């Protein structure tokens, strides 16, 4: 059996700085051997940071590495993760194997099941449970549509591919379960593609939105679809009943939002700011259209999610100047910072398993897999 580990050489090649300081028990990096579900502890190599971690803001939690057998020994490149909470399945957009990796997460130890090839590097993906489909956005501007109905004869196969007409990648997305429409950010082509989730057809293209379009996110609280515009430092509001842009909301503080997570009960959104100069996290009131709070405990990150069962916001602040962090905030109003968990500079996407209270993120490229940990109590 081979051990899946991060060597000093591979870390150096990936741009990491290796320190000579002694490694303590809290530096343990748990590695899972292929074919053996029992995590093993190996010494971790610290990564270079601009400033030291603030102990009061950080909870020490060991990270478990989860291997992806088809890409063992390769350099990993991953984007969005999403979970079918009912089926206990984790889906991972994997550019390295041009597919979607699927894991069984019925237990706290994730088990790799299979990979569905979508023909190009995968970026955004989302589970649309009420139409039993998984939508995947690819580097070639296509949307792959996968059947996730376990009783169907076409289960886990690609039902259709739709070309959005962009010259560059189709990226992040979200699904409106009421109107049964998918909103896709063609991030570098400056438009949004609207897709009929029932008939697998393109309904409309909404253009002229500017560059660096990031995370669409449906808000069941007001029935609107929102999307972050990192380039313009704005939040867009769309009406899915009309497929029209109805407002462009200025964030008002340095943020350049990437991630977007919404608590529909409070209509408060956490913006995962990407700004590397002013590193912060923003709480944005969607009804008022303005920033209501900022936090400096995390910033320079990407993906953000809200989970109603946990009543928590999770922000993958992978580029934070105190080292990559998974920042956890309360879902209540007012929103409060709870803690950071130190992750890696590549842990830019996040998913949360409600059953086992486990967080999943990408590992460093040299490890070609995921990391997971239980949410601190």
Q: What is the mean pLDDT of residues 364-377?
A: 95
Q: pLDDT value at position 341?
A: 98
Place of tokens 């490229």: 365
Lowest mean pLDDT among 38-42, 59-63, 161-165, 247-251: 38-42
pLDDT per residue as tens digits for the range 222-239: 999 999 999 999 999 999
Tokens encoding 259: 């991630």
Q: What is the mean pLDDT of residues 75-82?
A: 97
Q: pLDDT value at position 103?
A: 98
Its sign, for the CA torsion 152, 156, 157, 159, is positive
Please give the mean pLDDT across all residues of the chain: 89
Nearest Cα neighbor of 219 from 291, 267, 173 is 267
Contact present, 125 and 141 (Cβ < 8 Å): no
The helix or strand, by DSSP H or E, that contains position 11, with its residue range, turns out to be helix 8-13
Q: pLDDT value at position 377?
A: 84
Structural domains in the chain, CATH included, are 8-374 (2.130.10.10)
Q: pLDDT value at position 293?
A: 98
Contact present, 121 and 170 (Cβ < 8 Å): no
* Confidence category of residue 49, pLDDT binned at 50, 70, 90: low
Contact present, 29 and 41 (Cβ < 8 Å): yes
Helix (H, G, I), strand (E, B) or coil at 355: coil
CA R_g for the chain: 20
* Dihedral over alpha carbons 49, 63, 359, 51 (to 10 degrees): -10
Q: Is the pLDDT of residue 159 over 60?
A: yes
pLDDT per residue as tens digits for the range 165-200: 999 999 999 999 999 999 999 999 999 999 999 999
Instruction: Answer whether 0.85 is exceeded by the pTM.
Output: yes
Nearest Cα neighbor of 8 from 46, 45, 48, 33 is 45
Phi, psi dihedral angles at 25 (to 5 degrees) = -60, -30
Place of tokens 């964030």: 251
Alpha-carbon distance of 1 to 23, in angstroms, equals: 26
Tokens encoding 4: 């899946």
Helix (H, G, I), strand (E, B) or coil at 340: strand
pLDDT per residue as tens digits for the range 112-131: 999 999 999 999 999 999 99
Alpha-carbon distance of 24 to 337, in angstroms, equals: 27
């Amino acid at each position: 059996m081979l051990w899946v580990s991060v060597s000093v050489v591979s870390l150096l090649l990936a741009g990491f700085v290796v320190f000579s300081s002694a490694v303590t028990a809290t530096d343990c990096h748990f590695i899972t051997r292929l074919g053996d579900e029992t995590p093993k502890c190996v010494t971790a190599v610290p990564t270079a940071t601009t400033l030291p971690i603030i102990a009061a803001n950080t909870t020490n939690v060991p990270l478990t590495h989860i291997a992806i057998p088809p890409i063992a020994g390769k350099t990993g490149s991953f984007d969005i993760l999403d979970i079918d909470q009912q089926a206990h399945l984790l889906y991972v957009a994997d550019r390295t194997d041009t597919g979607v990796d699927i894991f069984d997460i019925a237990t706290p130890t994730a088990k790799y099941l299979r990979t569905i090839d979508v023909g190009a590097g995968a970026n955004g993906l989302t589970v649309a449970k009420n139409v039993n489909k998984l939508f995947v956005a690819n580097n070639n501007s296509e949307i792959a549509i996968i059947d996730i109905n376990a009783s169907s004869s076409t289960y886990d196969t690609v039902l259709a591919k739709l070309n959005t007409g962009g010259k560059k990648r189709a990226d992040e997305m979200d699904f409106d379960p009421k109107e049964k429409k998918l909103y896709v950010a063609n991030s570098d082509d400056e438009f949004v593609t609207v897709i009929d989730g029932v008939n697998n057809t393109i309904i409309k293209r909404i253009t002229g939105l500017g560059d660096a379009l990031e995370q669409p996110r449906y808000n069941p609280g007001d029935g609107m679809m929102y999307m972050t515009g990192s380039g313009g430092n704005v939040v867009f509001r769309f009406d899915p009943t009309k497929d029209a842009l109805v407002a462009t909301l200025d964030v008002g503080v340095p943020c350049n939002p990437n991630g977007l997570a919404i608590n529909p009960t409070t209509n408060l959104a956490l913006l995962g700011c990407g700004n590397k100069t002013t590193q912060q996290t923003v709480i944005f009131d969607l009804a008022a259209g303005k920033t209501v709070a900022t936090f400096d405990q995390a910033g320079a990150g990407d993906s953000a999610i809200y989970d109603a069962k946990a009543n928590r916001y999770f922000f993958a602040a992978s580029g934070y100047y105190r080292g990559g962090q998974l920042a956890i905030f309360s879902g209540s109003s007012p929103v409060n910072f709870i803690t950071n968990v130190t992750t890696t500079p590549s842990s830019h996407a996040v998913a949360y398993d409600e059953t086992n209270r486990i967080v999943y993120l990408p590992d460093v490229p040299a490890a070609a897999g995921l990391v997971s940990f239980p949410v601190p109590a």
